[in-house]
């Protein structure tokens, strides 16, 4: 595919989000979601490998089905306007269908099965876009829906998602699957944050992007899929390897690092709104997921691999851009920067 075409797709993806967030009617939201999906699909098959094509087809089927349910839900809700007595009921059913469709599109917990398989088939960069930017259209719809009376259902999905993200990643040895489960777990926090207040969800989402993009791009440059391949890093490129390991711990939300800041922020609001049970479940999910983050960082920070090994990772050739290393340093020192900023005179 000609590289000159790619701006068309990426701009369309951005425009779709703007369309959704600036519209108050479900038809335009549906339109935005469909546009975003369609513009993303050519990017998914950029390298034309058979795995990618398979993943793309899976992605397309799920998204198209969810969009159909979305449209149906909109029609049901619309039909409620023309019937006298059952208006409220039909409206509720319609809202519920729309919500379930959006949740499927996002890959929240009971509907998360496609995420792992699709991400496993993709390259890291399209995978990163899928797990970060492609959440934005769905979340923009959810924040508008969460004000309705179905927010308790969203809370439930969020909790299940945090737990599933933690439990699912425990046995994984594939980097991409691990990152997918990590993303599911974070999505749980994110959705509960969106219910508690849309700005909270936005802050947490920004934090997740800042934390995960450097990890995705390092893994892309390393071009390795299996967890065991990481253990050569400490010998070939110790600094980068340590930064990668610490970045994973930060993504897991271990306190001295930046990732803890998002959890702290959200927890403060959850406890303030008396969502105690929800916070306990979310924290439990995070704790479980910390087990696999810790395993990755063992490989990056602690384990010394054998001297002669054909790992196939390009640790030595790796160059970091200033932006990426800045983000990684932010991961390590972020909480102290926040503390330092709070020391400044107001």
Partner 1 sequence: MNHLVLGYVGLVIGVIVTKKSMVWRVGQVGSVLLMLPATVLVNMNMTISNVSYMMTSDFVSLGLTVLSIWLLPLMLLASQQHMVSESLIYQRVFVGCQVFLTGALVLAFMASDLLLFYIAFESTLLPTLMLITRWGAQKERYQAGTYFMFFTLVGSLPLLICLIGQYQMVGSLALDLSYEGVFQLSYLVNFWWVGCILAFLVKLPLYGVHLWLPKAHVEAPIAGSMVLAGVLLKLGGYGMMRVSLMWGATAMLSSEVFLALALWGIVVMGGICLRQTDLKSLIAYSSVGHMALVVGGVLTGVAWGYNGAMVLMIAHGLVSSCLFCLANLWYERSSTRNLSGSRGLIMIFPLISSGWFLMSLMNMALPPAINLFGELVAMVALYNWSPYSIVYMSLGAVLTAAYSLYLFGMSQWGNTMKNYKNLYTITSREYLLTTLHLVPAIYLIFYLGLMF
Q: Which residues bind partner 1 (CB under 8 A)?
A: 238, 249, 254-256, 260, 264, 267-268, 271-272, 276, 279-280, 283-284, 287, 290-291, 294, 298, 301-302, 335, 343
CB of 341 to partner 1, least distance (A): 13
Token pair recorded at residue 40: 């993303």
Residue with tokens 């088939």: 121
Q: What would you measure as the largest C-alpha separation in the chain, in angstroms?
A: 77
Q: CA-CA distance, 280 to 162, in Å (whole number)?
A: 11
Helix axes 322-343, 198-222, angle to 10 degrees: 140
CB of 107 to partner 1, least distance (A): 26
CB of 287 to partner 1, least distance (A): 6
Among residues 15, 9, 27, the alpha carbon closest in space to that of 136 is found at 15
Closest to partner 1 by CB, 115 vs 299, is: 299
Phi, psi of 35, deg, nearest 5:
-60, -45
Closest to partner 1 by CB, 31 vs 333, is: 333
How many helices (H) and strands (E) the chain has is answered by 15, 0
CB of 173 to partner 1, least distance (A): 16
Q: CA-CA distance, 244 to 279, in Å (whole number)?
A: 28
CB of 258 to partner 1, least distance (A): 12
Closest to partner 1 by CB, 124 vs 292, is: 292
Closest to partner 1 by CB, 145 vs 242, is: 242
* DSSP helix/strand/coil, 311: coil
Closest to partner 1 by CB, 155 vs 301, is: 301
Among residues 251, 222, 123, the alpha carbon closest in space to that of 176 is found at 123
CB of 156 to partner 1, least distance (A): 19
CB of 290 to partner 1, least distance (A): 7
Q: CA-CA distance, 124 to 220, in Å (whole number)?
A: 5
Q: CA-CA distance, 169 to 186, in Å (whole number)?
A: 13
Closest to partner 1 by CB, 53 vs 330, is: 330
* DSSP helix/strand/coil, 223: coil
Angle in degrees, CA 20, 24, 28, rounded to 5: 50
Closest to partner 1 by CB, 17 vs 278, is: 278
CB of 171 to partner 1, least distance (A): 15
Closest to partner 1 by CB, 104 vs 297, is: 297
Give burial (CB, 10 Å; 0-12/13-18/19+) of 34: middle
């Amino acid at each position: 595919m000609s590289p000159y075409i790619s701006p068309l797709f990426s701009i369309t993806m951005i425009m779709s989000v703007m369309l959704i967030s600036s519209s108050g009617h479900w038809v335009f939201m549906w339109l935005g979601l469909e546009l975003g999906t369609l513009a993303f699909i050519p990017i998914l098959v950029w390298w034309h490998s058979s795995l990618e094509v398979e993943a793309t087809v899976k992605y397309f089927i799920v998204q198209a089905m969810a969009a159909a349910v979305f449209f149906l839900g909109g029609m049901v809700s619309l039909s409620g306007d023309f019937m006298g007595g059952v208006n409220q009921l039909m409206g509720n059913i319609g809202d519920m269908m729309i919500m379930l469709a959006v949740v499927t599109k996002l890959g929240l917990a009971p509907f998360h099965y496609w995420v792992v398989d699709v991400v496993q088939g993709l390259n890291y960069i399209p995978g990163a876009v899928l797990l970060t930017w492609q959440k934005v259209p769905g979340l923009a719809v959810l924040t508008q829906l969460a004000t309705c009376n179905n927010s308790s259902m969203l809370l439930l999905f969020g909790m299940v998602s945090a737990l599933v993200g933690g439990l699912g990643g425990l046995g994984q040895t594939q980097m991409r699957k691990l990152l997918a489960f990590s993303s599911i777990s974070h999505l749980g926090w994110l959705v509960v944050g969106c219910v508690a207040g849309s700005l909270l969800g936005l802050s947490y989402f920004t934090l997740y992007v800042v934390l995960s993009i450097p990890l995705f791009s390092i893994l892309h440059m390393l071009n390795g899929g299996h967890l065991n391949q990481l253990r050569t890093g400490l010998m070939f490129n110790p600094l980068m390897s340590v930064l990668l390991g610490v970045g994973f711990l930060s993504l897991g939300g271990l306190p001295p690092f930046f990732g803890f800041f998002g959890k702290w922020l959200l927890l403060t609001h959850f406890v303030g709104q008396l969502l105690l049970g929800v916070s306990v479940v979310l924290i439990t999910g995070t704790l479980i997921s910390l087990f696999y983050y810790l395993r990755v960082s063992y490989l990056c920070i602690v384990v010394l691999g054998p001297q002669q090994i054909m790992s196939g990772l390009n640790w030595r050739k790796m160059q970091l851009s200033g932006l990426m290393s800045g983000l990684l340093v932010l991961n390590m020192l972020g909480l102290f920067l926040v503390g330092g900023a709070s020391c400044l005179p107001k």
